[in-house]
Amino acid sequence: MEMECPYAVEMLGITKRFPGIVANDNITLQLKKGEIHALLGENGAGKSTLMSVLFGLYQAEEGTIKKDGKEVQINDPNDANALGIGMVHQHFKLVQCFTVLDNIILGVEETKHGMLKKDDARKKVLALSEKYGLKVDPDALIQDITVGMQQRTEILKMLYRDNDILIFDEPTAVLTPQEIEELMQIMKNLAKEGKSILFISHKLNEIMEVADRVTVLRRGKCIGTVNVCDTNENELSRMMVGRDVKLVADKTPAQPKDVVLDVENLTVASKNHNNNAVKHVSFNVRQGEIVCIAGIDGNGQTELVYGITGLEPAKEGKITICGKDVTNASIRERSAEMSHIPEDRHKHGLILEYPLDYNMVLQRYWQPEFTTKGGFLKKDAIRKYSDELIEKFDVRSSQGSDTMTRSMSGGNQQKAIVARELSKEHKLLVAVQPTRGLDVGAIEFIHRQIIDSRDAGDAVLLVSLELEEVMNLSDRILVMYEGEIVGELDPKKITTEELGLYMAGAKRDTQKGAE
Amino acid sequence: MKNKKSFMENPAVQGILSALICIVIGVLIGYIVLLVINPAEAGTGIMAIMKNFFNYPIGKIGMKYFGSTLVKTAPLIMCALSICFCYKVGLFNIGAAGQYVVGAGVSLYTALAWGLPWYLCIILAGLGGALSGLLIGVLKAFLNVNEVISGIMLNWISLYCVNMLLTGVKEPSSPYTLPLTGHGNAGLIPSLGLSTLFNNDKVTIAIPLSILFAILVWVILDKTKFGYELKATGYNKNAAKYAGMKEKKNIIIALAIGGALAAIGASFLYLSGIENWEVGRSSVPGMGFNGIAATFLGALNPIGSIFSSFFIQHITDGAVFLDKTAFPSQIPDLITAIIIYLCGFMGFIKMLLAGKKKNKAAPSAETKQEGGKQ
């Protein structure tokens, strides 16, 4: 018996084809016991496909999978679970109206005479949560807890099933900086306790911080596996993208001109609680500048954007765009001057059941260019416009304009939205987390587009949870805390630490905190 | 194999294939039921149902019964279109049955009591159905009342209101409304020679009209800005709002149009003179409900609805030919009900067909994950 196989899991020579593309081309990935192994690659490089093969969602056409040195067959997720392989998906698989505990035991509940026996389960969950520092409230409903706690619930789900190979599919995409910090610590603890971790990511700094080794994929091919201690971010990004990438966007100093967006004393009600989510906020954004709203998730940024874009009514205050009072204007009226890259691409940004070309004209379909006077769609024009945007913004998909949007990778869905919003006529761009879940190549591209849009004379309001993005792009930073703007900062003069203090509410400018 | 794969991935092919599978399974189960009751007669029985008008010699008599089936197919197409249209906006218009009742009531009353010409009767019936649908839509859009609940309730309210209304134009000696011939001749839909072709004076231009409506609905949904908005609202209300569409308005308009379609369907049937309304009836006519089966069997495609409606009406009429001495009298309806019921499995069969392909066809892993697998 070869008990001492150093690898927990080996995927050897995996090839997986889809019509038109080879998603995985002879990829080998070996996960050592107790290591954190990062899987790095651009959107559509084949990371998710490879993990789906490991998790039993797809069958590879070629190649073998070995667990502890023994060849295994994984036909569905149940097989994977039986082998101790667990996965935290990018989009959580939790029952919203169940408690944390119920979600953890879901599917492996213990019963006595047909009745649930939760006491033992509760003890085990609390013990696990103690051991790995996974703070959760077992009795809270999923819909009431933060995204970070939902993720910890997912991790506990894997641990509760005694999984020892843990796959994290872009776990930090949805987290705040603080939560990311915590997650990194949790992952290190897990590895220390002997769990083997596969960490799918395209965030280089996180990989550098937490991983032991990293395997890089590019366009379905394995570029190589390197030790993290022997490499650096620049080398990794070159391996991933295939060329040098500027990690910091070049930009000239802003030259602000006329005020485009003027927000006065804006108050927006909250959907979650009786308090107002946005409280008496005033600021403006000028032509040719990027103003960034920084803050920890849930401090009213979402509602502020809803108020400005018209998705939610303003309770008080006044919004002016290009000198026109739009406080009570419809979304369509506002969209004449405003482009909006929404926070949630699946909820607002796209109609996933529509083909890509229909989504490309979602904010323009009514215009004479795409609709005849009689109300008929000009499908040829729509197709042509969509093809142009796909080309210009390098949106990758299996069938171009015909692709069902649902089947595209998250990064390319986001690129499609960015393409649509930047290509439509606008004077104000409201971009909420425009690079969420994107790889460095795409981030570089989108940052470039936003800066170009500024230089072309647009006013840009950027909402971001990523400190790096805030520091990188903005000409002015407004920090939001508990629904108020607590500071206006100059990114050139402030450090990340100081910004963090404002975001956490530990510091505030007195003159800015209206009331 | 390579070529076949892309052929099989075509949604239209999948739709037609799953419709055929549904029909085959439905007929098979129907056959098994007949087999249990009377093994000797089962084979001829199921054939009699499937043959419908072919039970008669091809020629004048066959054409006559073919015509009768078509007369009842027209309203079924309209009901299927009503449900299909609303379904595209994410609404389940079970109220089509009630809107159909309203259409029957308005068209018969305006023809018999006011002596209006047929086209006005149809238009007024459509308006009546639209109002009925509008009510459901307003409740849904502004008060978030589920359209299924309010639809079902309205079905009954409509039925009794129409019974009451039509009591005014009923025959003195029977529970049925007066025949149009003699009491409202203007209300009869013209046949423009179709009646001689089919040797059946009930065959009218309602049949080509219903096909025109199907094409119209298809064009609206597939080719127009309005259809783009309606479908967007149905797929993702939030994104529709984000794009500046009036999602509330779309919901109301969709249900109003759906109501009009079902009601016009009823006028197509009752203004052909093939049937009179029984004012004492205590059940909502099944036409609106069969429309649900026809919609799904037609793969939620307006053009598909034409064929699926014809098939469903074909076997419904075919049931009459089942040997009454060999089988209890409830059996014909039971067999057609089973086949129609199986038509509802359309979505399921289609999913199976698509699912089988999924492993090969899905272009990226995200698809499957976001589909809520596991």
Single-letter amino acid, residue B347:
G
CB A319 within 8 A of CB A308: yes
Give the HSE-up count for residue B251: Cα atoms under 13 Å, Cβ half-sphere. Answer: 26
What DSSP assignment string belongs to B153-200?
HHHHHHHHHHHHHHHTTB-SSSSBBPPHHHH-GGGSPP-TTHHHHHT-
A406 to chain B: closest CA residue = B367
For domain A247-337+427-515, the CATH class is alpha beta
Chain A residues in contact with B371 by the CB 8 A cut-off are 406
Tell me the two tokens of residue A414: 């986001």
Chain B residues in contact with A377 by the CB 8 A cut-off are 223-225, 227-228
Q: Any long-range contacts for A320-325 (C-beta under 8 Å, 24+ apart)?
A: A320/A261, A320/A262, A320/A263, A320/A264, A321/A260, A321/A261, A321/A262, A321/A427, A321/A428, A322/A260, A322/A427, A322/A428
**Degrees (nearest 5) of the Cα angle B326, B329, B331?**
80
Beta-carbon separation of A23 and B361 below 8 A: no
Q: Given A20, A371, A399, which is nearest B225 (Cβ)?
A: A371
Beta-carbon separation of A332 and B373 below 8 A: no
Beta-carbon separation of A19 and B362 below 8 A: no
Beta-carbon separation of B364 and A20 below 8 A: no
- Statement: residue A487 has pLDDT above 80: yes
- The pLDDT value given to residue B358: 47
- Burial code (b: 16+ CB inside 10 Å, e: under 16) for B66-92 equals bbbbbbbbbbbbbbbbbbbbbbbbbbe
Beta-carbon separation of B242 and A311 below 8 A: yes
Average pLDDT for chain A: 87
> Mutating which of B242, B249, B367 best tests the A interface, going by the most A Cβ atoms within 10 A?
B242
Calpha distance B196→B309 (Å, rounded): 24
Beta-carbon separation of B366 and A48 below 8 A: yes
A365 to chain B: closest CA residue = B225
Q: Given A48, A352, A410, which is nearest B236 (Cβ)?
A: A352
B371 to chain A: closest CA residue = A406
Please tell me whether residue A464 adopts helix, strand or coil conformation. Answer: strand
CB A47 within 8 A of CB A200: yes
Beta-carbon separation of A375 and B6 below 8 A: no
What is the 8-class DSSP label of residue A351? -
> Mutating which of A91, A407, A421 best tests the B interface, going by the most B Cβ atoms within 10 A?
A407
Beta-carbon separation of A409 and B223 below 8 A: no
Beta-carbon separation of A52 and B6 below 8 A: no
A-B interface: how many C-beta pairs under 8 angstroms? 121
How many Cβ atoms sit within 10 Å of the Cβ of residue A57? Answer: 24
The alpha carbon torsion through A500, A504, A505, A508 (nearest 10 deg) reads 10
* Number of residues that make up chain A: 515
pLDDT tens, position by position, B225-268: 999 999 999 999 999 999 999 989 999 999 999 999 999 999 99
Beta-carbon separation of A19 and B363 below 8 A: yes
Which residues have CB under 8 Å from A419's CB, separation 6+? A360, A389, A390, A392, A393, A395
CB A61 within 8 A of CB A17: yes
Of B143 and A440, the one with more pLDDT: B143
Beta-carbon separation of A44 and B364 below 8 A: yes
What is the 8-class DSSP label of residue B39? T
Beta-carbon separation of A354 and B235 below 8 A: yes
Mean pLDDT of B280-297: 89
- The pLDDT value given to residue A1: 47
For domain B16-358, the CATH class is mainly alpha
Please tell me whether residue A317 adopts helix, strand or coil conformation. Answer: strand
pLDDT interval class at A236 (50, 70, 90)? confident
CB A35 within 8 A of CB A212: yes
Place of tokens 């940024």: A301
CB A116 within 8 A of CB A133: no
Calpha distance A54→A49 (Å, rounded): 9
Detail the DSSP E strand segments found in A329-439.
338-341, 428-432
What is the greatest pairwise CA distance in chain B?
Answer: 70
CATH 3.40.50.300 is the classification of domain A7-241: yes
Chain B residues in contact with A49 by the CB 8 A cut-off are 364-365
pLDDT interval class at A246 (50, 70, 90)? low
Calpha distance B206→B73 (Å, rounded): 10
Question: A122-131, A162-171, B98-107, B328-337: which has the highest mean pLDDT?
Answer: B98-107
Chain B residues in contact with A398 by the CB 8 A cut-off are 363-364
List residues bridging with A18 in a β-sheet.
Answer: A21
Burial degree of B209 (CB within 10 A; 0-12, 13-18, 19+): middle
CA B136 to chain centre: 19
pLDDT tens, position by position, A423-438: 999 999 999 999 877 7
Q: Any long-range contacts for B44-47 (C-beta under 8 Å, 24+ apart)?
A: B44/B323, B45/B322, B45/B323, B45/B326, B45/B327, B46/B335
Tell me the two tokens of residue A155: 């991790």
Chain B residues in contact with A309 by the CB 8 A cut-off are 242
Tell me the two tokens of residue A310: 């018209």
Kindly report the nearest CA distance between residue B253 and chain A, in angstroms.
16
pLDDT tens, position by position, B41-100: 888 888 888 888 777 777 778 888 888 999 999 999 999 999 999 999 989 999 999 999
Place of tokens 């999913």: B351
- The pLDDT value given to residue B371: 34
CB A243 within 8 A of CB A47: no
Question: A136-150, A353-367, B21-35, B344-358: which has the highest mean pLDDT?
Answer: A353-367
Tell me the two tokens of residue A116: 């649930």
Calpha distance B260→A272 (Å, rounded): 40
Chain A residues in contact with B244 by the CB 8 A cut-off are 330-332, 335, 363
Chain B residues in contact with A52 by the CB 8 A cut-off are 365, 368-369
Which residues have CB under 8 Å from A257's CB, separation 6+? A286, A287, A288, A457
Beta-carbon separation of A349 and B239 below 8 A: yes
Beta-carbon separation of B228 and A377 below 8 A: yes
Reading across the β-sheet that carries A165-169, which strands appear in turn? A70-72, A62-67, A7-18, A21-32, A221-227, A213-218, A36-41, A196-201, A165-169, A85-88
A19 to chain B: closest CA residue = B361
Chain B residues in contact with A90 by the CB 8 A cut-off are 369
> Distances from the Cα of A370 to the Cαs of A1, A353, A366, A421, in angstroms?
68, 20, 6, 16
Chain A residues in contact with B239 by the CB 8 A cut-off are 347-351, 362
How many Cβ atoms sit within 10 Å of the Cβ of residue B173? Answer: 6
Beta-carbon separation of B364 and A406 below 8 A: no
Interface pTM, i.e. ipTM: 0.80
Beta-carbon separation of A332 and B244 below 8 A: yes
> Distances from the Cα of B132 to the Cαs of A184, A337, B101, B106, in angstroms?
59, 40, 10, 12
- Statement: residue B6 has pLDDT above 80: no
Q: Given A342, A350, A377, which is nearest B223 (Cβ)?
A: A377
- The pLDDT value given to residue A379: 94
What is the 8-class DSSP label of residue A488? E
Kindly report the nearest CA distance between residue B157 and chain A, in angstroms.
36
Beta-carbon separation of B363 and A397 below 8 A: yes
Beta-carbon separation of B360 and A342 below 8 A: no
A403 to chain B: closest CA residue = B363
Among B200, B176, B206, B186, CA closest to B73? B206
pLDDT interval class at A308 (50, 70, 90)? very high
Beta-carbon separation of B372 and A348 below 8 A: no
Beta-carbon separation of B369 and A349 below 8 A: no
Place of tokens 């036909």: A75
pLDDT interval class at B280 (50, 70, 90)? confident
Beta-carbon separation of A48 and B365 below 8 A: yes
Please tell me whether residue A433 adopts helix, strand or coil conformation. Answer: coil
Question: A125-139, B42-56, B115-129: which has the highest mean pLDDT?
Answer: B115-129
A59 to chain B: closest CA residue = B359
Element holding A17 (H helix, E strand): strand A7-18
> Mutating which of B224, B364, B367, B370 best tests the A interface, going by the most A Cβ atoms within 10 A?
B364
- The pLDDT value given to residue A458: 92
Mean pLDDT of B169-195: 89
Burial degree of B40 (CB within 10 A; 0-12, 13-18, 19+): exposed
What is the 8-class DSSP label of residue B319? G
Beta-carbon separation of B226 and A375 below 8 A: yes
* Number of residues that make up chain B: 374
What pTM does this model have? 0.76
> Mutating which of A21, A55, A57 best tests the B interface, going by the most B Cβ atoms within 10 A?
A57
Calpha distance A301→A470 (Å, rounded): 14
Q: Given A19, A57, A365, which is nearest B361 (Cβ)?
A: A19
Beta-carbon separation of A58 and B239 below 8 A: no
Beta-carbon separation of B363 and A18 below 8 A: yes
B242 to chain A: closest CA residue = A348
- The pLDDT value given to residue B363: 40
Residue spans in chain A of domains classed CATH 3.40.50.300: 7-241, 247-337+427-515
Calpha distance A1→A3 (Å, rounded): 6
A86 to chain B: closest CA residue = B374
Q: Which residues of B touch A (CB under 8 A)?
A: 5-6, 223-228, 231-232, 235-236, 238-244, 359-374
Calpha distance B121→B106 (Å, rounded): 7
